[in-house]
Amino acid sequence: MQFLNARSAAAWAAIALAAGSAAAGELAAPQGTPVLAIDGAISETNDGSRAVFDLAMLEALPAASFETSTSWTEGVQSFTGVTLAALMEAVGATGTGLRAAAINDYAVDIPAGDWVAGGPIVAYLRNGETMSIRDKGPLWIIYPFDGNPEYQSEVIYSRSIWQLDRITVTE
Amino acid sequence: MSELLGRQRNRSRFLTGVTVFALALCLGLVAGLGWVVKRQLTELESASSDNLQWTLSQAEVEYLRMTLAIERAADGTGSLSEARRRFDVLYSRMATLESSTAFDALRADPGLAESLQRIREFLEGGVPLVDGSDAGLRNAMPELVPAAAALEPDIRALGLEGLAIFTELSDSRRDQLVRTLLLMAGVLGVLLCGLVLVAGILLGLARNSSRRSREALETAERLRTIVETSLDAIIVTDAAGIIREFNPAAEKVFGLARSEARGRVAAELILPEESARELSGGLLAFWDEDRRPSPEERHFELAARHSSGRVFPAEFTIDRAEQDEGPVFVAVIRDISGRKAAEAGLTQARDRALAGERAKAEFLAVMSHEMRTPLNGLLGTMELLRDHSLTETQSDLLDRMQSSGRLLLGLVNDVLDLAKFEAGKMRSEVRPFSVDRLVEGVVETAAPLAAANGNTLSWSWTGPSVDAVLGDPRRLRQVLLNLVGNAVKFTRGGSVELEVEAVGPQGAELEFRVIDTGIGIAEEHMDRIFEDFETLDSSYAREAGGTGLGLGIARRLVRLMGGEIGAESEPGEGSLFWLRVPVRPIDEAPETAAPARPARPAPRKPLDLLLVEDNEINRFVARAMLEAEGHKVTEAVNGRIGVDCAAAHRFDAILMDISMPEMDGPEAARLIRAGSGASARVPIIAVTAHALPEEIATFREAGMDACISKPLEREVLMETLARIGSGGLAPAAVMPGPARMIARSNRTQSQAAWKTMAVGKRWQLRPDTVFIRDGRVQIIRLAIGAGQPDNSAGGAS
């Protein structure tokens, strides 16, 4: 209970922080190794026209977790991360969609309609652990396939991406 | 019928089951195949979606990028972190290649497995360097660059061979899918065929069923028409007797509307209470026993009730039919009031007709009988007249009178015989007799007439003789007398022969042939000579006279005995009449009368006699005969007076008439014997025309000792009295049995007649015949005259 309360308090703190940052109109600069760069139609930036995040910054955003199976992994996995909706809000995205690209330059397009609560997350924890690049990390965009039958389609499967390192919000 | 239907139903159930099973099997197969196809499609889809080729080419791209990054880092144009990053990207790519099930086929190829192994070894070897310090990594660069470059063929092989393998795999998957699809198409085809077949069968069944239902409808319609147009009431009830159907005829017959009748209990509605009781008492036993009525139970007549309360006779026909909802009973009811009335009318008409016939027969019988009584009186008186001295002329006249009287008696007797036949009162007897004696008697009787016509008359056996037989001698004698009498009548100066022959197995039949040399009978008349009232137009016939009944009666008598009679004739040459009767030969003929009659016993003791007789003429004749012999006669006019006289005075004997008013003979005899009067133990002699054995037995039971026949014959009377006078009339000896006594009586009478004839008299009564006929007259009078006042019939006894 105490743990939950602690977590809850931390979550509230994070929300307050994020809200505060948003309200402040600018993003803090990353302290650690940058893992994700967002550009395009966004209002909040911290590196020129880009918004660059290290893992701590992502972890500070409202977190969401779910368990699901995927076609690239064996068995049910648990994922934890920030929802795409929260992330886009954090950067003040105003576009109709986004292009997510991987380290290996694989890229997918995700329409703005998918940025909803209960929708995809930018996961930084798989089965409670961070993911190395060798392990297809550090970030995945993953949908709760098992939790929502509407996501069990090839189109949605193709919108998932691993080794995510940059997002461009398109007009 | 129901068994057949049941079998058909079972068969169609079986077929349906098989069909359903087969279709279910096909459907299961299709579903299974569908699942297989879906899985294969999924595999194909996931293979494409996973974009294996992209992965493989990406592996090559990422390898090249890593190699480039390492080279740049080695010559200082690139950063170490970029080299690390590209190493990690390749590492993750290869991990996917090695772990993902999509690349199972790739790993299964031995060559590629080696390539993978070499790449793995490079990566594993690189990990400590990449994860180590920048200095360590920079120092290792000179080795890392060529090692990375050395992997180029392996990566290339992965790309190319993998492509080939996946193409192959994809082809084989497609083939498999095609095969599965073909199989499914085949199964679907079979299923389709099955469905078509089932559809065909269903169509056939539907047609059949519609035809049947149409037929059933037509039949029902026809039946409905029959039921509705039937003139007979038709009522259908269930097992409880509740009316289900009530046709228009029933509405009319019972005066009830169909709507009123339906739902009511039939027995209460259409039957009066007494009929309902009768029904529950047994006519509807099959109903209670819950079974179909047997054919004789289906029809009965019973009173039914109209709604107005009118009860009428009805004819019921009931049967039971099995239906799904239980048995029903169908009753066809016909109002038979009309028929009953017609029947009653017919019965009445028949009764009236019969009564008319009877009245006619009675009239005939009574008239004949009543004619006989004065006739007998006349004949008896004429015989008495002969006791007086007569002139020759007077004697001749007396002869003529007696001859005419005799003829008249014969006619009356013929008519009586006929009446008796018509009344069906004639019965055949069976008793032992001697054929020889019977035929002798006939010949003796006919001899006078034969002699008068100048004929010779003789008889003989043809073949071995059979003397003692069982049969009906009286009827036989009558027939033979008739035939012989005819023969001698229609023959002048010729011969008449009577041949007797035992024929048939063991002499079981006797054939008598009467052959004359007379005028004969023309062919065309042969077939009607045995008809009643048939007299052929011949001078002889007219001369002989007669009613024409003789042969008709003869034929009846022969048939009565179970025999046949016939004739053959040649006009001018003569005739042959034959008759054949069944008899049963026995060892010995009964002992009959005393042989030759002894001379009149004398001297005779005058007797004191009581004569009980209601008829005055008979009394007169008897008294005259008896007094002529010197006996004393006391008369009593009926049985009651006779009993009184017998009680008051002791007579030597009592002559008792049988049929009398007030009290008849047997009753009087019983009273005399039962009382203790003066004459209680004296002989009583029955004087009667009653000659039937059973009647004689009743006389004996009544206490009478002897029986003599009417009309009284002087000789017989005298002989009997003589034996009484000499004490020879012991009851046991005189009346040993009916048959014997009659035989004796007949015998003595005919002998007496013959004797009279022999002494030169020109005429003679035929006492034999008269006796017998007289007996029959008595029978018929008793039979048809029952209920008449005694005084109207009793005079002749």
Residue B773 lies in a domain: no
- Whether residue B795 is predicted with pLDDT greater than 60 in this model: the reply is no
Q: Are strands B299-305 and B311-323 parallel, antiparallel or unpaired?
A: antiparallel
pLDDT band at B586 (very low <50, low <70, confident <90, very high): confident
Q: Which amino acid is at B568?
A: E
Block means of pLDDT (10 residues each) for chain A, 171 residues, are 44 44 61 88 87 89 88 82 89 88 88 87 90 86 86 83 90 82
pLDDT band at B85 (very low <50, low <70, confident <90, very high): confident
Tell me whether residues A72 and B46 touch, CB distance under 8 A.
Answer: no
B58 neighbourhood in chain A, CB within 8 Å = 104, 106
Q: Which amino acid is at B702?
A: A
| Integer angstrom CA distances of residue A77 from A144, A152, B277 | 11, 16, 95
Least confident range of A83-92, B10-19, B33-42, B543-552: B543-552
Residue B207 lies in a domain: no
Least confident range of A35-44, B589-598, B599-608: B589-598
DSSP, collapsed to helix, strand or coil, labels residue B405 as: helix
Note the pLDDT of residue A6: 43
Residue B530 lies in a domain: yes
Domain that holds residue A68: 2-170
pLDDT band at B786 (very low <50, low <70, confident <90, very high): very low
In a shared domain, residues B576 and B618? no
In a shared domain, residues B568 and B653? no
pLDDT band at B574 (very low <50, low <70, confident <90, very high): confident
Rounded mean pLDDT of chain B? 77
pLDDT tens-digit readout, B644-654: 999 999 998 89
CATH number of the domain enclosing A151: 3.90.420.10
d(CA B666, CA B658): 6
Of A46, A40, A1, A2, whose CA–CA distance to A22 is shortest?
Answer: A46
Average pLDDT over residues B377-397: 84
Percent of chain B with pLDDT over 70: 81
- Whether residue B169 is predicted with pLDDT greater than 90 in this model: the reply is no
The tally of domains found in chain A comes to 1
Note the pLDDT of residue B511: 92
Residue B417 lies in a domain: no
81-140 in A: which are within 8 Å (CB) of B? Answer: 103-104, 106, 132-136
In a shared domain, residues B581 and B625? no
Residue B561 contacts by C-beta under 8 Å, 6 or more apart in sequence?
B428, B471, B472, B475, B476, B581, B582
Considering only CB atoms, A134 lies closest to which of B46, B61, B92, namely B92
pLDDT tens-digit readout, B279-335: 766 777 787 778 888 888 888 888 888 989 888 989 889 888 888 888 888 889 988
- Whether residue B447 is predicted with pLDDT greater than 60 in this model: the reply is yes
Note the pLDDT of residue B735: 40
Tell me whether residues B49 and A103 touch, CB distance under 8 A.
Answer: no
Is the pLDDT higher at B373 or at B311? B311
In a shared domain, residues B62 and B189? yes
In a shared domain, residues B260 and B126? no
d(CA B794, CA B613): 10
Of B508, B444, B516, B429, whose CA–CA distance to B476 is shortest?
Answer: B429
Note the pLDDT of residue B797: 35
Tell me whether residues B49 and A132 touch, CB distance under 8 A.
Answer: no
The tally of domains found in chain B comes to 4
Is the pLDDT higher at A41 or at B600? A41
Residue B566, Cα to own-chain centre: how many angstroms? 38
In a shared domain, residues B649 and B751? yes
> DSSP state, B282?
I
Cβ of residue A31 closer than 8 Å to a chain B Cβ: no
pLDDT tens-digit readout, B260-284: 888 888 888 888 888 777 776 677 7
Least confident range of B351-360, B434-443, B668-677: B351-360
Complex ipTM more than 0.90, yes or no: no
First to last CA, chain B: 76
Residue B89 lies in a domain: yes
- Whether residue B164 is predicted with pLDDT greater than 90 in this model: the reply is no
Average pLDDT over residues B159-187: 81
Tell me whether residues B89 and A158 touch, CB distance under 8 A.
Answer: no
Residue A168 contacts by C-beta under 8 Å, 6 or more apart in sequence?
A38, A39, A40, A98, A99, A101
Average pLDDT over residues B414-438: 76
H and E: helices and strands count for chain B: 27, 18
In a shared domain, residues B621 and B757? yes
CATH number of the domain enclosing B243: 3.30.450.20
Domain that holds residue B305: 230-335
A72 neighbourhood in chain B, CB within 8 Å = 96, 100
CATH number of the domain enclosing B519: 3.30.565.10
Percent of chain A with pLDDT over 70: 85
CATH number of the domain enclosing B161: 1.20.120
In a shared domain, residues B701 and B748? yes
Closest-CA residue in chain A for B87? Answer: A134
In a shared domain, residues B183 and B262? no
Average pLDDT over residues B344-353: 89
Of B232, B242, B213, B181, whose CA–CA distance to B33 is shortest?
Answer: B181
pLDDT tens-digit readout, B95-128: 888 877 777 777 888 888 888 888 888 888 888 8
Of B566, B571, B564, whose CA–CA distance to B536 is shortest?
Answer: B571
Residue B520, Cα to own-chain centre: how many angstroms? 51
Q: Are strands A164-170 and A34-40 parallel, antiparallel or unpaired?
A: parallel
- Whether residue B773 is predicted with pLDDT greater than 70 in this model: the reply is no
A135–chain B nearest CA distance, Å? 6
CATH number of the domain enclosing B706: 3.40.50.2300
Closest-CA residue in chain B for A137? Answer: B92
- Whether residue B418 is predicted with pLDDT greater than 90 in this model: the reply is no
Least confident range of A131-135, B174-178, B543-547, B746-750: B746-750
Average pLDDT over residues B517-541: 70
In a shared domain, residues B143 and B87? yes
Note the pLDDT of residue A80: 92
B-interface mutation test, from A69, A104, A130, A163, most B Cβ less than 10 A away: A104
Note the pLDDT of residue A9: 45
